[in-house]
Structure 1
């Protein structure tokens, strides 16, 4: 029998791949916990948004809850106000937090900068603090009665510009958003910093050989190469801001005052679903608001995955 025949015989025999059942065994506990904590509550929320209580019985009403939320004056005013505030909250983070994070990451990546570890730790430290601590501290700092903000501004001759920003409807939302920026600016900073460190040295050396150095090198070489990381930061900012609740609740309370000027979808959902003070909770309308939040986040994530990410893949290595 020739070698070709023997080789063909061996090729014809199917090779049985060993099934790695241990992978499923290790994944099973995490899958069970994630299903119980995330998937099942999400499904129940979506189901509950299609039902309402009629004559003390849960009745299927279809999309009627959404019609009430968008069309009824009593509900639509609070909903559109919360959605508008949420958009402003998100835009402030995108236009302030992320550019500052990119600038700080660029400064930390300078090769001749000393005490990089100290700066990196100091700027990331607020992210590790509890939102309760952050909210309470900033309420004390900005208090017009016993806060230190007026005295600190007086040291630089700006005391006349101080105002009770958290107590004014026109400035409360911006103030809370900037507090959130202060706390979470370390996240985009660290992600961009890691992306900058991941750029191959050959690319930097080639740019230096072409005479591209300093900030020109950052704008022309480094920034385009970290666009995928910037895209990830943007979508994380979007999801985090449309899920925001804790800091606003800590600083301004469940009513998100003054006059609902800091009310966002998270605080509106809390008051509607669980009730507040003399207001009784409405599970169906609360689930409807939660469903709208889920659809907004789903639309934003889908837009990023199927449109934005495809356009920035060419910059990836």
Structure 2
């Protein structure tokens, strides 16, 4: 009898061990897909960046020559720093306009603004569209001849404000960035709104009983508790700004027209690696070097940004 009980216990133990190991098999398909489409392209780009290329044929090993050319050899270095500056402008404008407006609107909706739910849905709806579709729609709206924006300006007697919005180097980049803000503001609003709704109501009620005014309550209580939401939106904005490609490509193509005034690092990478605009035999190597530099820069700056924001959260 005791022997039979021991056998049953051992059998049950083996079943539990098998189930415990079987659980570890479930992530394997996801890890395979991640490795195939994320890890492998990164490693491949790293390896390609160390070689010279004759079209699609890999040539001699050149070490860091592609990286040196990217930063020092014209016209590559000029295009690189031009695109890098545009990405910085992209980030700053989105941070100031998109995130600040989203924060303000989220606060108003949290405070039970009239028709707040309608505005929340209306602002998020563009996010449901493809970025390519958004780009082509706004390209039609901004058309200098028949676009809705110039037509409306003309109807109100504001002909002096009519422009070739995407054809003028002075306005093209800012126009695309503002379209991107319109597209992304609803998503950021939801993140901020979730942050406001997570604030314990007991704290606000206690502050109200102590006679705290609305602005002081926002500054001293709500804002410190919103640091995690601010951190998330800032990091997402930074990553999106330095990966900006689809909207620029949809509205201006891969050449960063007019006169490279809308170039971003991602668009420049596409042109180097696939566009063949320079006709140089090392275009794939330079494009891979740019991809590696962009990956390192985004990863490093994102980590530093998270560290800084977490430090601020602890201090507050």
* Shorter-chain TM band: 0.7 to 0.9
Pairing 1:166-205 to 2, within 5 Å after superposition: 166-205=166-205
Kindly tell me: are residues 313 and 273 of structure 1, through their superposed partners in 2, closer, same or farther at Cα, counting changes over 3 Å?
same
Q: Match of 2:59, SS?
A: strand
Q: Which residue of 2 aligns with 1:307?
A: 308
Measured after TM superposition, the shift of residue 17 of structure 1 is 9.7
Q: Match of 1:166, SS?
A: coil
Shifted more, 261-270 versus 39-48: the winner is 39-48
> What value does the CA root-mean-square deviation take over the aligned residues?
2.3
CA distance in 1, matches of 2:114, 2:168: 42
Q: Which residue of 2 aligns with 1:48?
A: 48
Q: Match of 2:311, SS?
A: helix
Measured after TM superposition, the shift of residue 147 of structure 1 is 1.0
Q: Match of 1:73, SS?
A: coil
Contact 1:228 1:313 in 2 (8 A): no
Measured after TM superposition, the shift of residue 306 of structure 1 is 2.8
CA distance in 1, matches of 2:215, 2:17: 53
Contact 2:235 2:306 in 1 (8 A): no
Q: Which residue of 1 aligns with 2:141?
A: 141
CA distance in 1, matches of 2:92, 2:296: 19
CA distance in 1, matches of 2:54, 2:236: 39
Kindly tell me: are residues 209 and 23 of structure 1, through their superposed partners in 2, closer, same or farther at Cα, counting changes over 3 Å?
farther
Measured after TM superposition, the shift of residue 96 of structure 1 is 1.0
CA distance in 1, matches of 2:74, 2:53: 20
Q: Which residue of 2 aligns with 1:63?
A: 64
Q: Match of 1:165, SS?
A: coil
Stretches of structure 2 that go unaligned for 5 or more consecutive residues are 1-15
CA distance in 2, matches of 1:53, 1:280: 9
Pairing 1:99-138 to 2, within 5 Å after superposition: 99-111=100-112, 113-138=113-138
CA distance in 2, matches of 1:153, 1:265: 34
Kindly tell me: are residues 144 and 53 of structure 1, through their superposed partners in 2, closer, same or farther at Cα, counting changes over 3 Å?
closer
- Give the number of aligned pairs: 299
Q: Which residue of 2 aligns with 1:8?
A: none
CA distance in 2, matches of 1:24, 1:178: 46
Q: Deviations over 1:1-32 (max 9, x none)?
A: xxxxxxxxxxxxxxx99983243122111111
State the TM-score, normalizing by the size of structure 1. 0.88
Contact 2:271 2:277 in 1 (8 A): no
CA distance in 2, matches of 1:155, 1:106: 35
Shifted more, 155-164 versus 135-144: the winner is 155-164
Q: Which residue of 2 aligns with 1:96?
A: 97
Stretches of structure 1 that go unaligned for 5 or more consecutive residues are 1-15
Measured after TM superposition, the shift of residue 214 of structure 1 is 2.8
Kindly tell me: are residues 109 and 248 of structure 1, through their superposed partners in 2, closer, same or farther at Cα, counting changes over 3 Å?
same
Measured after TM superposition, the shift of residue 162 of structure 1 is 2.2
Measured after TM superposition, the shift of residue 309 of structure 1 is 1.6
Kindly tell me: are residues 54 and 172 of structure 1, through their superposed partners in 2, closer, same or farther at Cα, counting changes over 3 Å?
closer
Contact 2:144 2:165 in 1 (8 A): no
Measured after TM superposition, the shift of residue 251 of structure 1 is 0.3
Q: Match of 1:117, SS?
A: helix
Q: Which residue of 1 aligns with 2:74?
A: 73
Q: Match of 2:26, SS?
A: helix
